[in-house]
Amino acid sequence: MSLNKIPTKDRESFTEHLQRSNRILALCGAGLSASSGLPTFRGAGGMWRNHEATSLATPEAFEADPALVWQFYSYRRHMALNANPNAAHFALAELARKRPNFVTLTQNVDGLSQRAAHPASQLHLLHGSLFDLRCTEFYCDYSEKDNFTDPIVPALAIPKDSTQPMPSTTDNTGEEASKSLAAAMQGNKASQEGKDVDISDAGNPMPSVSPEDLPHCPRCQKGVLRPGVVWFGEALPVKTMSAVDKFVEKADIDLMIVIGTSAMVWPAAQYIEVARGRGARVAVINMDTQDGERNLTKRDWFFHGDAGTILPDILFPVIGDISAQLKG
């Protein structure tokens, strides 16, 4: 099947099933936000500077070097805030409004589903959010949701690009020096207008940050705040998992939509088989055929391509035209 092209037979059978589906479950991964241009830092090759991104997403890394971990997450917050929800986010949000018994489970922490006005009661954040915070002090239970301040503290601001004048080693007339100075002035003007240094590249300098300049708890005044994401080795949020389990166990499920995820990470991946066990047919949207076609049955659908293109298309019979939301 060619990318983003849906065979007529698959489209018709999916549409027929979608229109009569009441209880629907979606599981979303990084591929949902691909059209928004966010880096995923996925897999062993996902590097941030000279670090494997996964090595920075642990409680041990934060304890060893909270400044480095915060610089990584401040960068991710900044990137997410400068991205926009794509058509797939808006399509899921509209489906939630049209189908009260539709629930989305997202492994993404980028906040784009929330910014697409996805109804909060129908959106479960399995891995937390970049924009939630909590105190690391043992006896303090301070937490905060939806803090979109960027930078969260001045010390974590993304540095701006700055061009420096370069002296000439061969010209003694001053002409080359004048050209170099003019170029530097023009470059510095551009930096003031907001050109960020890509600090994910280890070849670019990154300012050091002292622990006292990191975000601190406004309640206890002692603990360092940490991002409200689920790190490797940590349990998924109990309240979230309980709500999801309650939905799944309440009644049969008509349709399961799996979007942009390899569905290899447990316990989130188990919900595909749980939904099947409750009678669901499964529709998978993925750019990777190997990920997408894994464990599919003859009752399922695989739509090969970008979720930002495919989801609004296949959900159109229920959600209608969402182009106005994309412009607004």
Q: What is the Cα–Cα distance from 232 to 56, expressed in whole angstroms? A: 9
Could you tell me if 7 and 300 are in contact, meaning their C-beta atoms sit under 8 angstroms apart?
no
Q: For residue 229, give every residue at least 6 positions away whose Cβ sits within 8 Å of its Cβ, in sequence order, or none.
A: 57, 73, 109, 127, 128, 129, 130, 132
Contact of 42 with 57, CB cutoff 8 Å:
no
The set of residues, in sequence order, having a beta carbon less than 8 Å from that of 87 and lying 6+ positions away, is: 35, 308, 309, 311, 312, 322, 326
Secondary structure (3-state) at 67: helix
DSSP category for residue 293: T
- Is the alpha carbon torsion for 281, 286, 289, 291 positive or negative? negative
Q: Taking a C-beta distance cutoff of 8 angstroms, is the pair 146, 131 a contact?
A: yes
Please name every residue paired with 84 in a beta bridge, in sequence order, or none if there are none.
none
- Closest by alpha carbon to 105, among 232, 229, 277, 261? 261
Per the annotation, the verdict on 51 as an active-site residue is: no
Percentage helix, strand, coil for the chain under 3-state DSSP, each rounded to 5: 40, 15, 45
Contact 319, 95 (CB under 8 A): yes
Among the listed residues 51, 78, 127, 304, the single catalytic one is 127
Q: How big is the CA angle at 123 (ends 118 and 126), to the nearest 5 degrees?
A: 135
Task: Give me the active site residues, please.
Answer: 127
